C-alpha cells in the first residue's frame, strides 16, 4: 500500500514533478527506440546481403497496388467477417497513431496536447481514435474467442506449434491492453471536465461509470493509464520484430515491393541464359571471363542466404493466417506441402543463423540448411505451381518462388528429381523433345487410326 502511494506521489502526479517524469520518459524512450533501431538494423543488413529479385521501377503500378491491397485492404475484404474486422483494426491503428505520436511528443517536451492548435482536425483524429479504440478492443476479443473456442481449422497445422499460438495470443493481449488503457484515458479525461478534443465513446462511458467519481481518483486513473498505454506501445513495438505480428511494420512495404509480373511466370537465371545465348550464337569462346570463379552463384536455393531479399521480407510479413495452406490443392489432398510452413521455415532458419551471417557473411555454413533440415523434397515436389497460395495471400507473399528455387537446386546441383522428370530430361537430351520417340517416328501413333498419313 505504501509503495502504491509513493508511486502515485512521485511518478504519476505530473503537476507536482513534471521534470522528473520528463527525464524518466526521455530515458525510457531512448532505450525503447534504441532497441528497435538495433533490431531493424539487423534486418536491413540481411536484406542488403541478399539478391535483388527484380527491378523496382516503374512506380505507378506499385503505388496502385499499395493503395488497393495495402491501404484499402482489397484482398482481406474478400472475407466478409474476419476480413472486415481485420480491416477495421488496420484502419483504426492508422487513426490512433496520431494520438500516440502526440503522447510521445508531450512526454519528450513536457507539453500537454501539443497538436491542439489544429482545431477541427484535432477533434476529428481524437474522435476517430476514441471510436476505433472501442472497435479494436471488441475485434481483439472476437479474435481471442475464435482462437480459444471456435477452433478455426486453418489456425492449426504441423508448423503451428504451441509457441506460435502463445505468440499470437500474447500480441493480441498487448493490443487489448493498449485499447483499454486508451479508452480509460479518454473517459477519465472527459469525466474530469476536459474539453480539449472530442471523445464520443469516452463521453458515454464517463456518464455511465464515472459520474460520481472524485476528481483525484479520475486524475489517478488518467495518469496511470497514460503510462500504461505509452509503455505498452514501447513493449509492443520491440516485441514485433520477433513475433508473427511483425507484419504491423512489414505489411505495407511488402505489398509495395511485391512482384508485378504474372504469378505463373518463372524466372530464369541471368547467367545461365547468357551462357546459352552465347553458345547458340557461336561466340561463346570469344567472350572474356567477367566473373570470379569463386563467386559463381549457386543454381537455385539450398539455404536462406541463396534466396532474395523479397523471400526474406515475405517471411517477416507472414501473419500465419493459413489462408495459403487452406487453398493449396496439394495440402487439401493429403500431401505434406503447406505453403505457410515453407515461409515460416524460411524465417526460422534465417533467425537461427542471422547472427553468424552478419558476422561471417553469406559464406557461413553450419552443416545445416533450409533444404533437408527444415523442408523435405517430398514437400517441394508436391507443389503444382498453381499459385493459389500467392493469389490468396492478403499481403502478396510469393510462396512458389521459394519452392521453385529449391527445386532448381535439386535438379541442377544434385540431379535429384522424380523419375518422370528425369525421363523427360533424358528424352529432351536424346530426342529433342520430352517424348520417348525420335522425331521421325512420332507420327507412328496414328498408323492404327487409318489416317492417310500422306495427306498430312
Report DSSP letters for 175-236, one per residue.
HHHHHHHHHHHHHHHHHTT--SS--HHHHHHHHHHSTT--HHHHHHHHHHHHHHHHHHHHHH
pLDDT at 276: 79
Q: Does the pLDDT at position 15 exceed 80?
A: no
pLDDT band (50, 70, 90) for residue 101: very high
**Mean pLDDT for the stretch of residues 99-123:** 93
Per-residue pLDDT band at 7 (split at 50, 70, 90): very low
Residue 371 pairs in a beta bridge with 375
In the chain, which segments carry CATH 1.20.950?
A: 2-256
Which residues have a Cβ under 8 Å from the Cβ of 428 and sit 6 or more positions away? 434
Task: Report the CATH fold assignment for 2-256.
Answer: Fumarate Reductase Cytochrome B subunit (1.20.950)
In this prediction, residues 416-421 reach a mean pLDDT of 87
How much is the pLDDT for 282? 67
CB burial of 389-417 (b: ≥16 within 10 Å; e: otherwise) equals: bbebbbbbbbbbbbbbbbbbbbbeeeeeb
DSSP single-letter state for residue 75: T
Structure-model confidence comparison of residues 451 and 317, the more confident one: 317
In DSSP notation, 429-449 reads HHHSSSSSS-GGGGGGGGGGG
Q: Which residue has the higher pLDDT, 421 or 200?
A: 200
- The reply to whether omega before 119 is within 30° of 0 (cis) is no
Domain(s) labelled CATH 1.10.1060 in the chain stretch across 270-283+295-417
For the chain, what is the mean pLDDT?
A: 88
CB 256 within 8 A of CB 317: no
Note the pLDDT tens digit of each residue in 261-310.
998 888 888 888 887 788 777 665 555 555 555 456 788 999 999 999 99
Domain 270-283+295-417 in CATH 1.10.1060? The answer is: yes
- Give me the pLDDT at residue 284, please: 57
- Provide the 3-class DSSP secondary structure of residue 59: helix
Amino acid at each position: 500500500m505504501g509503495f502504491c502511494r509513493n508511486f502515485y506521489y512521485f511518478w504519476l502526479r505530473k503537476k507536482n514533478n513534471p521534470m522528473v517524469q520528463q527525464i524518466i520518459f526521455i530515458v525510457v524512450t531512448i532505450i525503447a527506440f534504441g532497441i528497435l533501431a538495433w533490431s531493424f538494423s539487423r534486418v536491413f543488413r540481411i536484406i542488403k546481403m541478399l539478391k535483388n529479385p527484380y527491378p523496382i521501377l516503374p512506380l505507378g503500378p506499385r503505388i496502385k497496388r499499395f493503395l488497393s491491397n495495402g491501404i484499402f485492404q482489397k484482398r482481406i475484404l474478400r472475407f466478409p467477417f474476419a476480413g472486415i474486422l481485420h480491416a477495421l483494426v488496420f484502419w483504426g491503428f492508422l487513426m490512433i497513431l496520431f494520438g500516440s505520436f502526440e503522447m510521445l511528443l508531450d512526454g519528450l517536451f513536457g507539453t500537454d496536447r501539443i497538436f491542439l492548435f489544429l482545431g477541427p482536425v484535432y477533434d476529428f483524429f481524437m474522435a476517430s481514435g476514441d471510436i476505433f479504440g472501442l472497435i479494436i478492443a471488441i475485434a481483439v476479443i472476437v479474435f481471442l474467442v475464435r482462437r480459444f473456442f471456435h477452433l478455426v481449422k486453418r489456425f492449426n497445422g504441423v508448423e503451428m506449434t504451441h509457441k506460435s499460438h502463445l505468440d499470437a495470443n500474447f500480441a493480441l493481449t498487448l493490443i487489448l491492453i493498449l485499447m483499454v488503457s486508451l479508452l480509460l484515458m479518454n473517459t477519465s479525461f472527459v469525466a474530469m471536465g476536459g474539453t480539449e478534443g472530442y471523445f464520443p465513446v469516452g463521453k458515454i462511458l464517463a456518464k455511465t461509470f464515472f459520474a460520481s467519481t472524485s476528481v483525484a481518483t479520475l486524475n489517478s486513473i488518467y495518469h496511470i493509464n497514460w503510462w500504461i498505454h505509452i509503455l505498452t506501445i514501447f513493449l509492443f513495438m520491440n516485441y514485433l520484430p520477433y513475433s508473427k505480428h511483425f507484419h504491423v511494420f512489414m505489411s505495407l512495404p511488402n505489398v509495395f515491393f511485391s512482384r508485378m509480373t504474372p504469378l505463373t511466370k518463372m524466372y530464369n537465371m541471368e547467367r545461365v541464359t547468357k551462357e546459352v545465348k552465347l553458345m547458340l550464337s557461336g561466340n561463346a569462346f570469344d567472350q572474356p571471363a567477367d566473373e570470379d570463379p569463386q563467386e559463381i552463384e549457386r543454381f537455385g536455393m539450398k539455404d536462406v542466404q541463396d534466396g532474395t531479399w523479397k523471400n526474406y521480407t515475405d517471411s517477416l510479413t507472414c501473419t500465419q493466417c493459413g489462408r495459403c495452406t487452406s487453398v493449396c490443392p496439394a495440402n487439401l489432398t493429403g500431401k505434406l506441402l503447406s505453403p505457410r510452413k515453407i515461409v515460416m521455415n524460411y524465417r526460422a532458419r534465417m533467425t537461427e543463423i542471422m547472427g553468424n551471417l552478419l558476422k561471417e557473411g553469406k559464406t557461413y555454413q553450419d552443416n545445416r540448411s533450409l533444404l533437408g533440415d527444415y523442408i523435405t523434397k517430398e514437400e517441394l515436389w508436391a507443389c503444382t505451381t498453381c499459385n493459389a497460395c500467392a493469389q490468396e495471400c492478403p499481403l502478396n507473399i510469393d510462396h512458389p518462388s521459394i519452392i521453385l528455387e529449391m527445386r532448381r537446386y535439386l535438379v541442377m546441383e544434385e540431379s535429384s528429381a522424380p523419375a518422370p522428370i528425369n525421363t523427360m530430361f533424358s528424352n529432351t537430351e536424346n530426342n529433342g523433345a520430352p517424348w520417348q520417340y525420335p522425331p521421325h517416328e512420332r507420327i507412328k501413333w496414328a498408323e492404327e487410326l487409318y489416317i492417310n498419313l500422306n495427306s498430312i
